[in-house]
Amino acid sequence: MKSIPLRDKHEALGASFTDFGGWEMPVRYSSDLAEHHAVRESAGLFDISHMGEIFIEGKDAASYLDFALVGAASEIAIGRAKYSLICNQAGGIIDDLIVYRLGQNAFLVVANASNREAVVSAMEERAKGLEVEVRDESDLWVLLAIQGPKSVSILSEITDSLLEDLKYYAISEAELAGVPCLLARTGYTGEDGFEIYIPVESGASVMDAIFAAGKDKGLLPTGLACRDTLRLEAGMPLYGHEMNLEINPFQAGFGKVVRLDKQGDFVGKAALAKLSQVAPEKVLVGLEGSGKRAARADYEVFVEGSTKPVGVITSGALSPTLGFPIAMAYVSADFAELDTPISVDIRGTQTAFRVVKLPFYKRAKN
C-alpha cells in the first residue's frame, strides 16, 4: 500500500488504518459515532492526500477539457469550480471529478485516488495534438479537509483571508499559518467546510496549526469510516459503489452534468446522446428503513410478491444523524417512484424500506 505524507502524524493521533484504493488511510481515531457527530456539530479534519491533483495549462486548456470531460469547463469562471465526469466512448463513467478554474488557461482537476492512473492516462491521450499540458502533481500536495459548522471560525484563527467571502464551489490562494495554499470551499460531507491544498513539505505545520486553532472548538481528527456515513447521509456517490464503467450518468442521476448542448464533440458524446433518449432500465434511488438493521452494499432488493430481485444496494448504514437505516440502491425504474415499498434481504430476513428523495440530510443554512 502507498502511504500518505503525514502518516506518522496520524499514527501519533491514535489512528487505525485501512487499505483504501491501494492507500493506507486513517479509518478512525476514536469512535465512528464521535467523529461523525463532531463534523455535524462542530468540525472534523480529514487527510485526503490520496486524491489525485491534475493541473491543466495551456492555450487550449478550456476547449481541451470541454472535449475530455462531459461538462463545459470553458464556462467556469476563474476562481470557481464544477462537478464533472470523465466517460469512455460508450458513456461509462471512468471517474467523477471536481474541476477548478485557476486562471484563464489554467485548471485543477481532482480525481479519486483509485482512479488516478486511469484518469491521467485518459486525459493525456485526449490532449494529443493540442496546446495543453497535463501534469499529475498528486505526490506534491497534502490535501486536508476541514468540515463542519465551526470550520470558518477555526480557520479564521490562522489566516487573514476573508473566509466568509469565499463562496461554495470556489477556490482562491490563501496563507494558512504563513503557508501559501489553495483553499476551496468544497467537501464530501454535506456540511460547510474547506479543502486545503498544501505543498507537501508544509503539510505537517498547517495540520498542527489547524488542530491548535480548533482545540477548544470541538475539532476532532476524523477518518474514512465517518466520512462514508457523512457522504451517504448527504446523498453523495462513491465511485465503485454508485458509479463504475458499467453505469452511465443518466442511471446515476447526473444527466444534468452531461452538456450535450455544448459546442463541439467530446469523448462519449454519441453514446451519451443515444442514452439520453432512452429511459434507463435501472436508476439510483434513496431508501429509508425503520428499526436498526442496516442494508449493506450488494444486498438484494425485492418488491412484495417477487422472488426475483429488482435491485441491489450500493451503499447503506444506520444513519448516526437521523437514527434510522438509509441506503442507496439501483432498482428497476418500474419501482423507483417515491414512497414505493420495497424490502431488502438482510442476512436472510426481508426488511421493509421505502423509496425516498435524495439527499437524506441537508444542513440548516444561516
pLDDT for 365 beyond 90: no
Separation between Cα atoms, residue 186 and residue 298, nearest integer Å: 29
pLDDT of residue 306: 85
- Closest by alpha carbon to 177, among 149, 208, 147? 208
Residue ranges, comma separated, of all CATH 2.40.30.110 domains in the chain are 280-366
CATH class of 280-366: mainly beta
CA atoms within 13 A on the CB side of 58: 16
| Cβ atoms < 10 Å from Cβ of 83 | 15
- 8 Å CB contact between 124 and 183: no
- Tell me what the mean pLDDT of segment 70-94 comes to: 98
What Rg value do the Cα atoms of the chain yield, rounded? 21
CA atoms within 13 A on the CB side of 184: 24
Residue 253: burial class (beta carbons within 10 Å; 0-12, 13-18, 19+): middle
Write the single-letter amino acid at 204. A
pLDDT for 338 beyond 70: yes
pLDDT of residue 366: 64
With cut-offs at 50, 70 and 90, classify the pLDDT of residue 305: confident
DSSP state of 239: B
Looking at the chain, the whole-number percentage of residues with pLDDT higher than 70 is: 100
CA atoms within 13 A on the CB side of 325: 24
Separation between Cα atoms, residue 66 and residue 259, nearest integer Å: 9
- Tell me what the mean pLDDT of segment 29-41 comes to: 98
242 has which bridge partners? none
Separation between Cα atoms, residue 333 and residue 229, nearest integer Å: 26
C-alpha distances out from residue 139 to 159, 253, 314, Å: 25, 32, 30
pLDDT for 122 beyond 80: yes
pLDDT of residue 56: 98
Residue partners of 75: CB distance under 8 A and separation at least 6: none
pLDDT of residue 364: 85
C-alpha cell at 255: 444527466
With cut-offs at 50, 70 and 90, classify the pLDDT of residue 71: very high
C-alpha cell at 42: 462542530
C-alpha cell at 209: 496549526
Name the CATH code of domain 1-278 (choices 3.30.300.30, 1.20.120.80, 3.30.1360.120, 3.30.1130.10): 3.30.1360.120
Separation between Cα atoms, residue 164 and residue 169, nearest integer Å: 13
- Tell me what the mean pLDDT of segment 66-70 comes to: 98
- Tell me what the mean pLDDT of segment 135-146 comes to: 98
Separation between Cα atoms, residue 257 and residue 272, nearest integer Å: 11
- 8 Å CB contact between 11 and 26: no
Residue partners of 118: CB distance under 8 A and separation at least 6: 94, 95
Separation between Cα atoms, residue 146 and residue 197, nearest integer Å: 12
For β-strands 171-176 and 219-221, DSSP reports them as unpaired
In tens, the pLDDT along 230-255 reads 999 999 999 999 999 999 999 999 99
C-alpha distances out from residue 44 to 149, 211, 212, 262, 285, Å: 10, 10, 13, 39, 28
pLDDT of residue 219: 98
Separation between Cα atoms, residue 12 and residue 7, nearest integer Å: 9
Residue ranges, comma separated, of all CATH 3.30.1360.120 domains in the chain are 1-278
pLDDT for 291 beyond 70: yes
Separation between Cα atoms, residue 28 and residue 329, nearest integer Å: 26
DSSP state of 190: S
- Closest by alpha carbon to 80, among 100, 53, 61? 100
- 8 Å CB contact between 343 and 352: yes
In tens, the pLDDT along 254-285 reads 999 999 999 999 999 999 999 999 999 999 99
- 8 Å CB contact between 187 and 195: yes
